[in-house]
Amino acid sequence: MGSISGLLDFLESKGRAAATARLLLSVAFVLVVWEAVASVVESRLLIVPPLEVAQALSEESASGALWTNAVATIGAVAISFPIAALIGISVGLALASSRFLALTAGPLLTALNSVPVIALAPLFIAWLGLGFASKFVIVTIFSMFPILVTTEVGLRATDRHLVEAARSFNASYWQIFRTVTLPFALPFIISGIRVGWARALVAIIVAEFFGAFAGFGFAILAAGQSFDTAVLLAYVILLGILGLSGSLFFEWLERRLAPWRQDQ
Amino acid sequence: MTAASVLSVESVTKVFSGAGKPDLVALEDVSFSVGDGEFVAIVGASGSGKSTLLRIIDGLLPATSGAVRVGGEAVTHPGFDRAMVFQQDCLLPWKTVLDNVAYGLVIGGAKIADAHETARRFVQMAGLTGFEHHYPHQLSGGMRQRVNVARALAVNPRILLLDEPFAALDAQTREIMQGELLNIWSESRTTVVLITHQIEEAVFLSDRVVVFSARPGSVREEIPVPLPRPRTMEMKRSEVFVSLVDRVWRLIEHEVRKAVEEGMA
Ligand SMILES: Nc1ncnc2c1ncn2[C@@H]1O[C@H](COP(=O)(O)OP(=O)(O)O)[C@@H](O)[C@H]1O
Ligand SMILES: [Mg+2]
Q: Cα distance from B234 to chain A (closest Cα, Å)?
A: 36
| B257: Cα within 13 Å, side-chain hemisphere | 6
pLDDT in tens, A52-94: 999 999 999 999 999 999 999 999 999 999 999 999 999 999 9
d(CA A130, CA A222): 16
Listed residue (A153, A155, A142) closest to A83, CA to CA: A142
Measure CA of the first residue to CA of the last residue in chain A; give whole Å: 32
Do A186 and B112 contact (CB within 8 A), yes or no?
Answer: no
* Helix and strand element counts for chain A (H, E): 12, 0
Is the confidence at residue B144, as pLDDT, over 90? yes
Backbone angles phi, psi at A5, to 5 degrees: -70, -30
For chain B, give every domain's residue range: 5-81+159-264, 93-156
Give me the residue from A168, A183, A260 closest to B84, CB to CB: A168
DSSP state letter for A115:
S
d(CA B227, CA B247): 15
What does pTM read for this prediction?
Answer: 0.84
d(CA B167, CA B150): 17
- Average pLDDT (B48-54) is 95
Q: How far is CA A210 from CA A52, A118, A222, A258, B196, in A?
A: 28, 11, 12, 40, 69
Beta strands B65-70 and B73-74 are antiparallel
Backbone angles phi, psi at A251, to 5 degrees: -65, -45
**Is B107 close to A170, i.e. CB distance below 8 A?**
yes
Which chain A residues are Cβ-neighbours of B89 within 8 angstroms?
161
**Cβ neighbours of residue B223 under 8 Å, at least 6 residues apart?**
B208, B209, B211, B244, B247, B248
Instruction: Work out the percent of chain A whose per-residue pLDDT is above 90.
Output: 58
Q: What is the pLDDT of residue B1?
A: 45
d(CA B43, CA B254): 13
Q: What is the pLDDT of residue B265?
A: 53
pLDDT in tens, A153-189: 999 999 999 999 999 999 999 999 999 999 999 999 9
ipTM above 0.85, yes or no: yes
pLDDT in tens, B181-234: 898 888 888 999 999 989 999 999 999 999 998 878 999 999 999 999 999 989
Is the confidence at residue B264, as pLDDT, over 70? no
Mean of per-residue pLDDT scores for chain B: 91
Near ion ligand 2, which residues have CB within 5 Å? B 51
Instruction: Work out the percent of chain A whose per-residue pLDDT is above 70.
Output: 98
Is the confidence at residue A107, as pLDDT, over 90? no
SS3 assignment, position B43:
strand
CATH class in words for B5-81+159-264: alpha beta
Find the DSSP H helices in A115-178.
121-128, 132-157, 160-168, 173-176
Is the confidence at residue B21, as pLDDT, over 90? no
Is the confidence at residue A14, as pLDDT, over 90? no
Do B160 and B190 contact (CB within 8 A), yes or no?
Answer: yes
Among all residues of chain B, which has the CA nearest to that of A164?
Answer: B60
d(CA B148, CA A88): 36
Backbone angles phi, psi at B63, to 5 degrees: -75, 150
Q: How far is CA B233 from CA B178, B182, B199, B238, in A?
A: 10, 12, 15, 10
- Which mutation among B16, B48, B50 tests ligand 1's pocket best, with the greatest number of atoms within 8 A of CB? B16
**Cβ neighbours of residue A95 under 8 Å, at least 6 residues apart?**
A101, A102, A105, A106, A109, A148, A152
B64 lines ligand 1 (CB under 6 A): no
SS3 assignment, position B130:
coil
Instruction: Work out the percent of chain B whose per-residue pLDDT is above 70.
Output: 96
Measured in whole angstroms, how far is the alpha carbon of residue B210 from the centre of its chain? 12
Q: What is the pLDDT of residue A88?
A: 95
- Average pLDDT (B62-72) is 96
Do B163 and B198 contact (CB within 8 A), yes or no?
Answer: no
- Average pLDDT (A223-237) is 92
- Average pLDDT (A202-214) is 88
- The Cα angle at residue B76 between residues B73 and B80, in degrees rounded to 5: 75
Q: What is the pLDDT of residue A19?
A: 85
Is the confidence at residue B18, as pLDDT, over 90? no
Q: How far is CA B223 from CA A60, B40, B217, B233, B251, in A?
A: 89, 10, 17, 21, 11
pLDDT in tens, A133-149: 899 999 999 999 999 99
Interface size, chain A vs chain B, as Cβ–Cβ contacts under 8 Å: 57
Largest CA distance in chain B: 61
Measure CA of the first residue to CA of the last residue in chain B; give whole Å: 39
For chain A, list the domains and their CATH numbers. 62-258 (1.10.3720.10)
